[in-house]
Amino acid sequence: MMMLLLRKPCRIAVATVVLLAPEAGAFYTMPPPTTTTNSVTSMLSRPSAATRQRHPISSTCRRRSLAPLRMAASSDAAAAAGGDDDLRGKVAVVTGSSRGIGKGIAVTLGQRGCTVYVTGRSVGGNTTDKEIGGSLEETAAEIEAAGGKGIPVACDHAKDEQVKALFERVESEQGRLDILVNNAFALGPGDQLQAKFWTQGADAWDSLITVGLRSHYMASCFAAPLMIKSVKDRGGKPGLIACVSSFGGLAYSFNVAYGVGKAGVDRLAKDMAIELEEEKVAVVSVYPGIVKTEKMKSLMTKNPAEFEANTGIALSSPMETPFFTGRAVAALAADPEILKKTGKVQIVAELAKQYGFTDVGGDTPPSIRSLRFLLPTYLFPKILPEGTKIDTSSVPDWLLPMFIMANGKPPS
């Protein structure tokens, strides 16, 4: 028996279900609890006196910390991701790394010993985001502080000649390339993430597809020959191309151009993997969860109510730091059997359990397809009094199948 709890959660099209024995085993991938959840009320009921301290639910909402994320790598990063020297000597390119997820990946790879070329348009005192700031020089400095070598390269990934020059420089200076992270992304004029497609027209499409998809293809085109050569020079040790995508490639999220772009990234990774497999270069599509980037934190802080209304994301939602994605990419790059994962979507939170790493501070955020993420993010805010604190540890960490994640409609 399957109980439908929420058909249309905000912005991520999923059907959220509570699975009742004996059918539950067909749907979740985490081990079931020793007691069966027979109704959603058992998750939401007031805890007994004996368990209230362990699973407190109070009327006071304790917001997640919005303190600025310290991007400098901490000492626990290496231990959490399997050691600090297994990537030493490798060369990486991380596109779009002035801030956000790209910066988190670049600094983490540097902390693991890589030489990291960081690319983007925020360089030389100029930033593409006046409010948030961030620059390639800042990212490179944090890579150096973390123990790696950071090399900032100004590159507009919408311009093929600049992308080509980037990889020619890498070959000239390093003679090898082991890791490419395709992360460059642009929203377009006005950053109208929620607007309908007929109001956005060509501008949003051109920005999201040209920088968010086409640039991934072109960077991979210029990188592949050098990566293939590097594999042979290293005696067959595999290389890695990681394309940063999202669940927007699977189900409607934000707007039409965004979803088409992310779906294209997933297909790009899948098809490049077929052609590069015999060359021992793995290609994966990486799905972070909700990431507390500098931009995200700014929006949450300025107007929390407007943020929740515009994004469909509750402030109580489980969130990740950019370092969490960085640790996932580092773990993939260090995996000698990475070719077993080539061509597939890799969810950051699920990689954390596979490889045994955590987020900054020791947290392990749930997968974006886990009930532990979905219920606190989309169901509980709708049925609980405003300001209720939600203890997510009492929610089962069961994963919904990808086909369920792909089947829903956006909220009405």
**Helical ranges in 335-399 per DSSP H:** 348-355, 371-374, 380-383
Q: DSSP assignment, residue 222?
A: H
258 is catalytic: yes
Burial of 304 (0-12, 13-18, 19+ CB in 10 A): middle
CA distance 366 to 370: 6
Angle at 270 between CA 115 and CA 345, to 5 degrees: 75
Q: What DSSP letter does each residue of 317-350 carry, written as one string?
A: S--B-HHHHHHHHHHHHH-TTGGGGTTSEEEHHH
Q: What is the DSSP letter of 72?
A: S
Calculate the CA 194 to chain-centre distance: 20
Going by their DSSP bridges, the two strands 16-19 and 2-6 should be labelled as antiparallel
Torsion-angle region of 147 (φ positive above 0: left; ψ -120 to 50: alpha; else: beta): left
Backbone angles phi, psi at 121, to 5 degrees: -105, -10
**Catalytic residue chosen out of the listed positions 28, 117, 252, 258:** 258
- 3-class state of residue 280 by DSSP: coil
| CA distance linking residue 306 with residue 106, whole number of Å | 31
Of 129, 17, 145, 123, the closest CA to residue 70 belongs to 145
**Active-site annotation, residues:** 258
